[in-house]
Amino acid sequence: MAAKKVIYDTDPGVDDAMALIFLDAAPEVELVGITTVLGNHRIDVTTRNALFLKDYFNLSAPVAKGAGKPLVLEERDPPTYVHGDNGLGDIPLPDVIRAELHPLPAHRFIIETVRAHPHEITIVAVGRMTNLAMALREDPEIASLVKEIVIMGGAFGYRGHSGNVTPVAEANIIGDPHAADEIFAAAWPIVVVGLDVTQEAVMSTAYLEELRDAAGRTGQFIWDVSRFYERFYRSSTQFDGVPVHDSSAVGYLLDPTLFTTRAGPIRVVTEGIAIGQTIQAPNTRRFPPGNAWEGRPDNFVCIEGDGERFLKLYFDTIVAAAQHG
Ligand code: BDR
Ligand code: CA
């Protein structure tokens, strides 16, 4: 089977780190690049964290530094109450990082890599959509050259899952709603893995303990990096553990049968109290002409997920890689 070539666009970030480990562990994935974006922390911090992860897990994929501010909005203070002061759950990080940055900025790295491998690159985007929008603005043709984009972001109200930053908005989308609305308008195949399904897959403390004990150094790292994050979720939300956001996008990449999708164009609200809300016009019904979704391409939203089967895939993939690697 040909490898799935992946660019991972990310803002590490605790769950970003856990998803990067998942990508690295999956035998069918060839990670061709890691591009960073602001979000869970400022760009210098998310980029340093990506370089640290490259060192720590001995990843060959280059790290290209991306956008440090949203397209239109002002940059906000980072959510250190979720991901810690250092963006990685306040685990101790080395003073010196050996890995060096790729010379290109993230959006150009995306353009060049997609052009070098037409119809072969899947972009797994688990931060703000700023780098993708910048790449698209500079080279709109890449939309026809990308194999697929799998996004962690948004919330569509399934099973009562709406926003996590406001009652209607999810963090990656509200962080740069203009970028998100632009990328949903382009004719590239986009699958959206939003809170509707990521909050249906929750890693309990017992699950993380078992993984820690079964997956050697990697399991210990996942345990350590998730302590602060788990405390946040337990103290501030109703979850009995850690909802699995970014790794769910990787889960879709590895096994799309884990999810049921719904087709239809998506718009993002870019101002007002509902800023950051993602709204899909489902293809299953018609709306009167002249609406804001008209003429936009279909995007696919994950509306149901098999949380248990996904959690098993994550566990088994990490443990198998730890045993063989
Ligand atoms: C998303 O926001 C970030 O905090 C996480 O890394 C994830 O990508 C969840 O809303
Ligand atoms: Ca993220």
132 lines ligand 1 (CB under 6 A): no
Atom 2 of ligand 1, nearest CA residue: 171
Adjacency order of strands within the sheet including 190-193: 63-64, 29-36, 4-10, 121-125, 148-152, 190-193, 299-305, 259-264
pLDDT value for 324:
86
Q: Kindly give the pairing relationship between strand 29-36 and strand 4-10.
A: parallel
pLDDT tens digits for the chain (325 residues)? 679 999 999 999 999 999 999 999 999 999 999 999 999 999 999 999 999 999 999 999 999 999 999 999 999 999 999 999 999 999 999 999 999 999 999 999 999 999 999 999 999 999 999 999 999 999 999 999 999 999 999 999 998 899 999 999 999 999 999 999 999 999 999 999 999 999 999 999 999 999 999 999 999 999 999 999 999 999 998 899 999 999 999 999 999 999 999 999 999 999 999 999 999 999 999 999 999 999 999 999 999 999 999 999 999 999 999 998 7
Among all bound ligands, the one having the nearest atom to the CA of 79 is 1
Atom 4 of ligand 1, nearest CA residue: 40
Distance 130 CA to ligand 2 centre (A): 13
246 lines ligand 1 (CB under 6 A): yes
152 lines ligand 1 (CB under 6 A): yes
pLDDT value for 238:
87
Q: For the packed helices 307-324 and 14-25, what is the interaxial angle rounded to 10 degrees?
A: 60
- Do the beta carbons of residue 109 and residue 142 sit within 8 Å? no
Q: What is the pTM of this model?
A: 0.98
Distance 101 CA to ligand 1 centre (A): 23
Residue 33 and residue 168: Cα distance in Å, rounded? 32
164 lines ligand 1 (CB under 6 A): yes
Closest ligand 1 atom to residue 12 Cα is 6
Mutate to test the pocket of ligand 1, among 126, 161, 174, 229 (most ligand atoms within 8 A of CB): 126
User: Who surrounds ion ligand 2 at CB < 5 A?
Assistant: 11, 13, 16, 126-127, 246
In the three-class reduction of DSSP (H, G, I as helix; E, B as strand; rest coil), residue 259 is classed as strand
Residue 192 and residue 206: Cα distance in Å, rounded? 29
- Do the beta carbons of residue 12 and residue 22 sit within 8 Å? no
Q: How many other CB atoms are found less than 10 A from the CB of residue 275?
A: 18
171 lines ligand 1 (CB under 6 A): yes
| Alpha helices, H only, 154-305 | 171-174, 177-185, 195-198, 205-214, 216-236, 246-254
CATH number at residue 170: 3.90.245.10
pLDDT value for 280:
98
Q: Give the pair of three-digit tokens for residue 43.
A: 């760009």
Mutate to test the pocket of ligand 1, among 8, 9, 11 (most ligand atoms within 8 A of CB): 11
**Residue reference for tokens 């640290």:** 52
Q: How many domains does the chain have?
A: 1
Q: What spatial distance separates the first Cα and last Cα of the chain, rounded to whole Å?
A: 20
13 lines ligand 1 (CB under 6 A): yes
Atom 10 of ligand 1, nearest CA residue: 171
Domain of 135, in residue numbers: 4-323
**Residue reference for tokens 């990449």:** 253
Q: Give the pair of three-digit tokens for residue 286.
A: 């018609």
170 lines ligand 1 (CB under 6 A): yes
pLDDT value for 1:
63
Distance 229 CA to ligand 2 centre (A): 13
In the three-class reduction of DSSP (H, G, I as helix; E, B as strand; rest coil), residue 119 is classed as coil
- Do the beta carbons of residue 268 and residue 275 sit within 8 Å? no
- Do the beta carbons of residue 221 and residue 21 sit within 8 Å? yes
Q: Return the active site residues.
A: 11, 245
Cα angle 68, 122, 65; round to 5: 20
Residue 52 and residue 284: Cα distance in Å, rounded? 46
Burial class (CB in 10 A: 0-12, 13-18, 19+), 34: buried
In this structure, what are the phi and psi dihedrals at residue 117, rounded to the nearest 5 degrees?
A: -135, 65
Dihedral angle, C-alpha 290, 291, 296, 298, nearest 10 °:
-130
In this structure, what are the phi and psi dihedrals at residue 126, rounded to the nearest 5 degrees?
A: -125, 20
